[in-house]
Structure 1
Amino acid sequence: MVKDKRILYREVEIEMKMITKVFLVIAVLLICLILWALFLGGNGVLENAWNGIAGQVNETWQAITGTSNNVLPEWKTGTVEDGVEGGIDDINDAN
């Protein structure tokens, strides 16, 4: 009788380890999705940081050279309004 309880506990322990692994994988994927949205999504941290640095560099360059040329381009999203072809508006205009 004692042996049967040990086997049962062992089976439950194995199942709990599997469930824990599945939930850990789901949690890691969710964290990756959230970080992707925060850093690489539209108006994310990376885009704002790049535009902030590029704006300062371009203003300084324009003040030194007296031209309107930009050294660093601004971060652009994939829309037609931003000048990048292939956005959703191109698909709508084609129909």
Structure 2
Amino acid sequence: MAGETPGRLRSEAAFAMLCGVEPLPASSGRIQRHRLNQGGDQGANSAIYRIVLCRLRWDERTKQQHRTTQCLSKKESSAGSSGTSPARSTRS
């Protein structure tokens, strides 16, 4: 657990490694890919996952950041997810 020996968490990278959310290189040839570390404290990983889900649902700053990382404006994001969007209703 993180609180038992706080000295071992020297950096954000050490915390990410402990929780199992550190990206690991999984590249082959010229393609650069990453995957998440499957090791680490699964209880901490589960807690982080729940925090992210709650923040995506309730926190406006997190919702805006999520839209920004998807390169969508607020208007584009809401239009694409709407079942009554003109773009979706004209396609068969």
What TM-score do you get using the length of structure 1 for normalisation?
A: 0.29
- More RCO (CA 8 Å, sep 6+): 2
Which one has the bigger strand percentage?
2
Which one has the bigger helix percentage?
1
| Rg larger for | 1
